[in-house]
Amino acid sequence: MVNKNLVKDVVKEPYKYGFITDIETEKIEKGLNEDIIKLISQKKEEPKFLLDFRLKAFKRWQKMKEPDWAALGYKKIDYQDIIYYSAPKQKEKISSLDEVDPKLLETFDKLGIPLTEQKKLTNVAVDAVFDSVSIATTFREELAEHGVIFCSISEAVKNHADLIEKYLGTVVPASDNYFAALNSAVFSDGSFVYIPKGVACPMDLSSYFRINSGDSGQFERTLIIAEESSSVSYLEGCTAPMFDTNTLHAAVVELIALDDASIKYSTVQNWYAGDEEGIGGIFNFVTKRGKCLGKRSKISWSQVETGSAITWKYPSCLLLGEESVGEFYSVALTNNLQQADTGTKMIHIGPKTKSTIVSKGISAGNSKNSYRGLVKMGTKAKGSRNYSQCDSMLIGDQASANTFPYIKSQQSNSEIEHEASTCRISEDQLFYLQSRGIEFEEAVSMMVSGFCRDVFNQLPMEFAAEADKLLALKLEGSVG
């Protein structure tokens, strides 16, 4: 067929972020044991409570079993074959950006995240994480004027130990699941955000996670606390070089919203996905959860998942406070041999709580894309409501899509509504658009972004445009 040839002729744009930064790194030995954990903790000059937290988590992890319930198939991970700490060699203490290795600054420049004073993005504060450590955080002083703390979690451990001790592990306990336990034992860096009472964060906050090293895992930890009547919008981006081996990424993100506070957490995940034969790519096992502790608190997750060889991720909300609100908006796109098992959990505990789930899965190539979600109404969740909508789009005839909605209700005075649909981009639709002068690739991307519109509308402006482009790029050559 004519179209097939056209698609093959299209020069495929390679993964744009697949370069490696050649930089001297400090790595510890491969493997995982108590000594390694002590070494990580020592390198980070951590207080005792944190070392104890790590060791306890490690003990739990040793007794746990890797979960196998997800609709994913992959080679067994050898946890002793991973380096758990890798950091670019730098001066002991860095007091300003001028002392950061120019190669690192250049790396983030290339990723579109300039960090230096002259070039930094003007509307968003960035925490840049490279392998196991945070390199720089912009706009710290400006944010400090509003009482907002935005720094790496390592710094927060040093400077705000009380907050860390009070909140770390309260949303995702170390015992929560296998990967959360692993992260709790070995987490290296990540971002910390604290928004004081009554403050609307004056700008978007963003963390950019970059994996550079091929043999070390990334285990970042993010903690965001929004005090009473405060609000923040947080963005997260991730990329990695192209290696023919798989790299493990097991992150934990904890969000806490008190009375009338709101946290909006947006992710564009573009980890390296492996090549067309499924060689290489990131194994992405992430536990993200938010606690709506207060009355009328609100946590909203929006995610665009396009990367990783394996995605295992269920950003969730615990709705404790009366009238608290949880939202989950997701676009997950898989192509070639990618596999994604992603969704959310909305746990309604308090009365009159509300949750909305909108999930759009797009599978192309030979990929596998599953939505897995739980909506639970507890005994006290009187007058609570959930609305879920899960749509799948198939591109080509080799891709697969699944939906696994779990519903548990212990409260008869609550409402759960679930809608699901599956569609396929048909040759007729493509021909129709083409016969109106619209190029084949553009026709596909028009239909895909139309399909995702409900979710894109939830993303911050600059993210939405980026997400649109990213999807188009990822789909290039996927239809024929």
Partner 1 sequence: MQSKMKESDPILEVENLFASTDNLPILKGVSLTVYPGEIHAIMGRNGCGKSTLSKIIAGHPSYNITNGDIKFLGENINSLEPEERSQSGIFLGFQYPIEIPGVSNLEFLRVSTNARRKFLNKEELDTFDFEELVKEKLEIVKMDHAFLSRSVNQGFSGGEKKRNEILQMALLEPKIAILDETDSGLDIDALRIVASGIKKISNAQTGIILITHYQRLLDEIKPNYVHVMSDGKIIKTGESDLALELEKKGYEWTDNFIKET
Beta pairing partners, 26? 87
- Among positions 374-433, residues that touch partner 1 (CB under 8 A) are 423, 426-429, 431-433
Binding window for partner 1 (CB under 8 A); candidates: 121-129, 228-236, 286-294, 436-444: 436-444
440 binds partner 1 (CB under 8 A): yes
User: For partner 1, which is the closer residue by CB, 402 or 434?
Assistant: 434
Q: What are the start-end ranges of the H helices in 79-139? A: 102-110
Question: CA quadruple 45, 48, 49, 55: dihedral positive or negative?
Answer: positive
Beta pairing partners, 420? 390
Could you say which of 66, 442, 462, 465 contacts partner 1 (CB under 8 A)? 442
CB of 143 to partner 1, least distance (A): 36
Instruction: Pick the closest to residue 97 from 55, 136, 41 (CA basis).
Output: 136
CB of 158 to partner 1, least distance (A): 49
Interface pattern 446-475 for partner 1 (x via CB under 8 A): xx-xxxxx----------------------
User: For partner 1, which is the closer residue by CB, 49 or 432?
Assistant: 432
User: For partner 1, which is the closer residue by CB, 89 or 436?
Assistant: 436
Question: CA quadruple 327, 318, 316, 192: dihedral positive or negative?
Answer: positive
CB of 429 to partner 1, least distance (A): 5
Q: Give the H or E element holding residue 267.
A: strand 262-269
CB of 188 to partner 1, least distance (A): 41
Instruction: Pick the closest to residue 385 from 331, 323, 435 (CA basis).
Output: 323
Burial string for 107-135 (b: 16+ CB within 10 Å, else e) reads bbeebebbbeeeebbeebbbbbbbbbbbb
Would you list the DSSP string of 307-336? Answer: --SEEEE--EEEE-STT-EEEEEEEEEE-T
Could you say which of 34, 81, 439, 462 contacts partner 1 (CB under 8 A)? 439
Interface pattern 147-186 for partner 1 (x via CB under 8 A): ----------------------------------------
Could you say which of 19, 385, 434, 476 contacts partner 1 (CB under 8 A)? 434
Amino acid 361 reads: G
Residue 43 CA: distances (Å) to CA of 36, 46, 132, 189: 10, 8, 11, 12
User: For partner 1, which is the closer residue by CB, 45 or 428?
Assistant: 428
CB of 395 to partner 1, least distance (A): 14
Reduced to 3 states (helix: H, G, I; strand: E, B; else coil), residue 5 is helix
User: For partner 1, which is the closer residue by CB, 67 or 450?
Assistant: 450
CB of 2 to partner 1, least distance (A): 5
Per the CB < 8 A criterion, the answer to whether 255 and 289 are in contact is yes
Binding window for partner 1 (CB under 8 A); candidates: 190-198, 298-306, 410-418, 443-451: 443-451
CB of 62 to partner 1, least distance (A): 48
Reduced to 3 states (helix: H, G, I; strand: E, B; else coil), residue 453 is helix
Strands 133-137 and 124-130: antiparallel
User: For partner 1, which is the closer residue by CB, 73 or 437?
Assistant: 437
Residue 281 CA: distances (Å) to CA of 182, 241, 258, 273, 469: 20, 9, 38, 4, 21
Residue with tokens 């067994």: 76
- Among positions 19-58, residues that touch partner 1 (CB under 8 A) are none
Number of residues that bind partner 1 (CB under 8 A): 27
Amino acid 421 reads: S
Could you say which of 96, 162, 436, 461 contacts partner 1 (CB under 8 A)? 436
User: For partner 1, which is the closer residue by CB, 25 or 449?
Assistant: 449
CB of 1 to partner 1, least distance (A): 5
Would you list the DSSP string of 280-302? Answer: SEEEEEEEEEEEE-STT-EEEEE
Backbone angles phi, psi at 358, to 5 degrees: -125, 115
CA distance 410 to 421: 27
- Among positions 61-90, residues that touch partner 1 (CB under 8 A) are none
Binding window for partner 1 (CB under 8 A); candidates: 37-45, 53-61, 278-286, 444-452: 444-452
User: For partner 1, which is the closer residue by CB, 105 or 364?
Assistant: 364
User: For partner 1, which is the closer residue by CB, 211 or 425?
Assistant: 425
Residues contributing to the site for partner 1 (CB under 8 A)? 1-3, 6, 423, 426-429, 431-440, 442, 446-447, 449-453
